[in-house]
Amino acid sequence: AYAEDLRRGLDAIAEASTRLKRRPRVYFEEWDEPPISGIQWVAEIVRIAGGDDIFPERAAEPLARQRILEDPDEVIRRAPDIVFGSWCGKKFRPEKVAARRGWDAIPAVRDGELHEIKSPMILQPGPAALTDG
């Protein structure tokens, strides 16, 4: 019954996302130094909510070290509309992200779409990622 409730919640979010005018490009940053992109279940949640993870090829990698961005300028080239930060164990600092060299060209920075999701709400597998995250 609990699993069905979770599924209905995700289905409602997916249905609501069909009314978006377009699917935003999303960069999820799990860590800042070095920058680590989000894991698979985060990319799945972004997709359900109507967005597209800008690093889908990295999301499939289960280990954080496999998701380290060797070239952080790749985020600039992929031009996300939204940046979510969830720096496990420390507060996400949008002003620090916005001040990165060249990041002023990113739509998310230009439009002030830099948001924190607390790591216990999204980075730990389990129900919190499906409800609060």
Domains of the chain as residue ranges with CATH: 2-131 (3.40.50.1980)
Nearest to 34 by CA among 77, 80, 82, 87: 87
Residue 35: helix, strand or coil by DSSP? strand
What is the mean pLDDT of each successive set of 10 residues along the chain, which is 133 residues long? 93 95 97 95 94 96 95 97 94 96 97 94 81 79
SS3 of 83, please?
strand
99, 78 in Cβ contact below 8 A?
Answer: no
Q: Hunting for tokens 């972004």 — which residue is that?
A: 46
pLDDT at 122: 87
Q: What is the pLDDT of residue 89?
A: 83
pLDDT at 123: 85
pLDDT of 133: 75
